[in-house]
Amino acid sequence: MARNERTSREIAAIAGRRLHDPDPEVRAMAASLLTQAADRARTPASVPTPPGVLKL
C-alpha cells in the first residue's frame, strides 16, 4: 500500500457503522475500507535472550 493510501480515523468510524447496513454492497465497501491499515514499521529480528536474563 502506498504511503498516501490510508484510511483515516473518521472514515474508519463511518465504515464501522456501515457494517450493519442491510445492503450487501455497502457492507462489502465498509469491510474493504476497514482492511486498509497503515503500513507497519519493520522490526529487526529478535535476538535470543541469554540464559539467566529475565524478559520483562
For residue 53, being part of any structural domain is answered with: no
Structural domains counted in the chain: 1
pLDDT tens by residue, 16-55: 899 999 999 999 999 888 887 555 566 666 667 777 777 6
For residue 16, being part of any structural domain is answered with: yes
Q: Give 32: exposed, middle or buried? Use CB within 10 Å, 0-12, 13-18, 19+.
A: exposed
For residue 48, being part of any structural domain is answered with: no
Containing structural domain, residue 34: 7-38
For residue 30, being part of any structural domain is answered with: yes
pTM, two decimal places: 0.51
For residue 20, being part of any structural domain is answered with: yes
For residue 14, being part of any structural domain is answered with: yes
For residue 29, being part of any structural domain is answered with: yes
